């Protein structure tokens, strides 16, 4: 074997297998980006917000909030809008922007690993592991995660370059606030960095940073709500009310994340063993180690028990910082680096089930969705559940359900704390919007103003199945597949019952 040791040969084999898995994932991601079909349940709502911007409408105007608003915020649709103006506002455009965000975030992680002393190959492998977490499930879909995580890591990079000086912190704070309007928790770097400086550097400066972060965040939310009247009612309340904490879910996510990031944890265990119990002084704790610890605390006590998108918080708030902390240290500990390399193909194998391994499944899903697209194109007035919100938005048709509309109930029946109350419309206004939207759908069903309805098994309160069954009948069943999220279910196709004349004009 030309003098190559057995250990070296095993490591090279592990590296080759891990590299092949990464290449396959990149190809899958590329195929998904170019597919004009939903890949996740709530993909379509983002298209509705972007479409409103392209039409010159305010997507968070209260009267139309149920059709054009989304619970994440305005940042991602604003970034997508110029791309949508050039390329069209479809799924592929939205996913392209998300993919560019993930690419930017991965490039930042790669630069950190190289600065930490890793060779080119190991830095690529470490970045690849982080990338796999970022594209998992929701990150690569038509959602704000890709753009948000890029802004978050860019904020950390700005602070790192200036060694947490005032100028660097101000730039990082600005980037964090841009992350805030993409998705609330991407403001995290502003608060985490302030905490780190307070605990490990200079408590006076850290306190000043913390006050600045609180004030700037409050000002951003107030300004955003002034420009977008329904923003607080939809985005802030939805996130506050949806953050239910389940300890059992935290344990489940910790288990799954530990298996996914097994190479980092295994290498970290070796580093801790080699440290022989030596503990660094607080002032010697680096930024990435501090971010790892602070993100872990935030996940354990807050976000990790929220039964939202599975593992997304872990991959976005913890994995990038853990990767840099562990692998930069492993660059000086050959045994830890060897353990990382050897664990990579094991992790790829045991976590492969999280991804659609067959590119043909993505193509088949697009073919199935094209069938429903043809049905909708041939319909005069269409009632459809969440899966088809994106298509209806592209065609400027009324939306009954976007996947986000149900969160509006949170604000309509909410007793806000004193600090949030001034930003919210009265519950009477919100209830009136909800009641009017539901009543309009019921009236159109009652009078058979829809000539086509497409519903999934869980249409929610916005689409009354009992009334629909009285005025319409199921004429066929379709199966749709959202391969990236590994979601498949049947769709009922409804037509008006004979003997009940449908209205001759489409709904207004």
Model confidence pLDDT, tens digit, residues 309-320: 789 999 999 999
SS3 category, 490: strand
> Cα–chain-centroid distance for residue 492?
28
Q: Is a pLDDT exceeding 50 seen at residue 99?
A: yes
Q: Is a pLDDT exceeding 60 seen at residue 330?
A: yes
Name residue, tokens 């074997």: 1
Phi, psi dihedrals of residue 56, rounded to the nearest 5°: 80, 20
- DSSP line for 292-350: HHHHHHHHHHTGGG--SSTTHHHHHHTHHHHHHHHHHHHTT-HHHHHHHHHHHHHHHHH
Q: Is residue 232 part of a domain?
A: yes
How many separate domains does the chain show?
2
The confidence score (pLDDT) of residue 280 equals 61
Q: Is a pLDDT exceeding 50 seen at residue 437?
A: yes
The confidence score (pLDDT) of residue 237 equals 87
Q: What is the mean pLDDT of residues 336-345?
A: 96
* pLDDT tens sequence across 463-505: 999 999 999 999 999 999 999 988 899 999 999 998 554 443 3
Q: How confident is the model at residue 7 (pLDDT cuts 50, 70, 90)?
A: low
Looking at the structure, do residues 302 and 451 belong to the same domain, yes or no? no
Domain boundary among 354, 371, 389: 354
Q: How confident is the model at residue 299 (pLDDT cuts 50, 70, 90)?
A: very high
Looking at the structure, do residues 480 and 345 belong to the same domain, yes or no? no
The confidence score (pLDDT) of residue 485 equals 87
Q: How confident is the model at residue 403 (pLDDT cuts 50, 70, 90)?
A: confident
* pLDDT tens sequence across 205-249: 999 999 999 999 999 999 999 999 999 988 998 878 766 678 888
Q: Are 414 and 236 in contact (CB under 8 A)?
A: no
Residue 467: which domain range? 359-496
* pLDDT tens sequence across 355-392: 998 888 998 999 989 989 999 999 999 999 999 999 99
Among residues 145, 176, 157, the alpha carbon closest in space to that of 46 is found at: 145
Looking at the structure, do residues 384 and 306 belong to the same domain, yes or no? no
Q: Is residue 66 part of a domain?
A: no
Looking at the structure, do residues 271 and 403 belong to the same domain, yes or no? no
* pLDDT tens sequence across 147-177: 999 999 999 999 999 999 999 999 999 999 9
Q: Are 461 and 66 in contact (CB under 8 A)?
A: no
Q: Is a pLDDT exceeding 90 seen at residue 461?
A: no
Domain boundary among 294, 322, 354: 354
Looking at the structure, do residues 312 and 432 belong to the same domain, yes or no? no
Among residues 216, 215, 193, 187, the alpha carbon closest in space to that of 206 is found at: 193
Q: Are 45 and 404 in contact (CB under 8 A)?
A: yes
Q: What is the mean pLDDT of residues 391-397?
A: 91
Q: Which helix (H) or strand (E) holds 108?
A: helix 91-115
Q: What is the mean pLDDT of residues 348-354?
A: 95
Q: Is a pLDDT exceeding 90 seen at residue 40?
A: no
Q: Is the overall model pTM greater than 0.85, yes or no? A: yes
Domain boundary among 302, 332, 354: 354
The confidence score (pLDDT) of residue 504 equals 38
How many whole angstroms separate alpha carbon 55 and alpha carbon 463? Answer: 27
Q: Is a pLDDT exceeding 60 seen at residue 432?
A: yes
For the chain, give the mean pLDDT: 90
The confidence score (pLDDT) of residue 457 equals 86
Q: Is residue 199 part of a domain?
A: yes
The confidence score (pLDDT) of residue 468 equals 95
Side by side, which strands form the sheet with 472-482? 382-384, 452-455, 487-496, 472-482
The confidence score (pLDDT) of residue 152 equals 98
Name residue, tokens 């909800």: 434
Q: Is a pLDDT exceeding 50 seen at residue 2?
A: no
Q: Which helix (H) or strand (E) holds 409?
A: helix 408-412
Looking at the structure, do residues 233 and 315 belong to the same domain, yes or no? yes
Q: What is the mean pLDDT of residues 80-94?
A: 95
Q: Is residue 44 part of a domain?
A: no
How many whole angstroms separate alpha carbon 51 and alpha carbon 93? Answer: 12
How many whole angstroms separate alpha carbon 388 and alpha carbon 368? Answer: 12
Q: Is residue 503 part of a domain?
A: no
The confidence score (pLDDT) of residue 354 equals 93
How many whole angstroms separate alpha carbon 114 and alpha carbon 275? Answer: 23
The confidence score (pLDDT) of residue 61 equals 94
Query: What is the separation, in whole angstroms, between the first and last Cα of the chain?
Result: 76
Q: Is residue 432 part of a domain?
A: yes
Neighbours of 164 (CB within 10 A): 21
Q: Is residue 502 part of a domain?
A: no
Looking at the structure, do residues 327 and 407 belong to the same domain, yes or no? no
């Amino acid at each position: 074997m030309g003098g190559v040791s057995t250990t070296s040969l095993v490591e090279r084999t592990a590296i080759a297998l891990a590299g092949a898995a990464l290449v396959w994932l990149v190809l899958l991601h590329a195929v998904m980006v170019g597919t004009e079909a939903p890949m996740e349940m709530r993909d379509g709502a983002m298209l509705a917000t972007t479409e409103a911007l392209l039409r010159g409408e305010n997507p968070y105007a209260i009267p139309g909030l149920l059709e054009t608003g989304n619970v994440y915020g305005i940042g991602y649709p604003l970034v997508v809008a110029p791309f949508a103006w050039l390329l069209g506002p479809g799924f592929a455009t939205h996913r392209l922007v998300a993919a560019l965000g993930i690419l930017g975030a991965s490039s930042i992680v790669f630069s950190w690993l190289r600065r930490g002393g890793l060779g080119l190959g190991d830095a690529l492998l470490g970045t690849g592991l982080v990338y796999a977490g970022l594209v998992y499930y929701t990150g690569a879909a038509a959602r704000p995660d890709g753009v948000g995580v890029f802004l978050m890591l860019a904020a950390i990079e700005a602070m790192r370059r200036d060694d947490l000086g005032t100028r660097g912190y101000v730039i990082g704070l600005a980037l964090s606030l841009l992350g805030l309007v993409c998705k609330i928790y991407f403001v995290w770097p502003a608060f985490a960095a302030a905490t780190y400086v307070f605990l490990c550097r200079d408590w006076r400066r850290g306190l000043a940073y913390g006050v600045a972060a609180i004030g700037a965040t409050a000002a951003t939310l107030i300004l955003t709500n002034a420009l977008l009247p329904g923003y607080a009612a939809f985005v802030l309340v939805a996130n506050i009310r949806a953050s239910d904490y389940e300890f059992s879910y935290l344990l489940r996510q910790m288990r799954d994340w530990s298996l996914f990031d097994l190479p980092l944890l295994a290498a970290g265990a070796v580093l801790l063993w080699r440290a022989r119990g030596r503990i660094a002084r607080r002032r010697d704790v680096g930024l990435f180690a501090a971010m790892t610890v602070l993100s872990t605390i935030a996940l354990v006590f807050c976000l990790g028990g929220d039964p939202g998108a599975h593992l997304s918080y872990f991959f976005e708030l913890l994995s990038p910082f853990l990767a840099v902390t562990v692998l930069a240290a492993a660059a000086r500990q050959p045994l830890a680096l060897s353990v990382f390399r050897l664990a990579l193909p094991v992790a790829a194998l045991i976590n492969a089930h999280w991804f659609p391994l067959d590119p043909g499944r993505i193509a088949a899903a697009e073919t199935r969705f094209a069938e429903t697209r043809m049905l909708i194109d041939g319909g005069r007035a269409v009632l459809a559940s969440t899966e088809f919100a994106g298509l209806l938005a592209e065609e400027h048709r009324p939306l009954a359900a976007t996947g986000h509309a149900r969160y509006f109930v949170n604000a309509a029946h909410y007793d806000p704390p004193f600090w949030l109350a001034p930003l919210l419309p009265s519950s009477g206004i919100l209830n009136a919007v909800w009641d009017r939207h539901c009543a309009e759908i019921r009236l159109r069903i009652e009078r058979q103003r829809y000539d086509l309805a497409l519903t999934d098994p869980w249409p929610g309160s916005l689409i009354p199945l009992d009334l629909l069954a009285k005025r319409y009948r199921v004429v066929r069943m379709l199966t749709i597949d959202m391969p990236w999220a590994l979601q498949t279910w049947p769709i009922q196709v409804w037509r008006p019952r004979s003997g009940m004349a449908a209205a001759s004009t489409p709904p207004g």
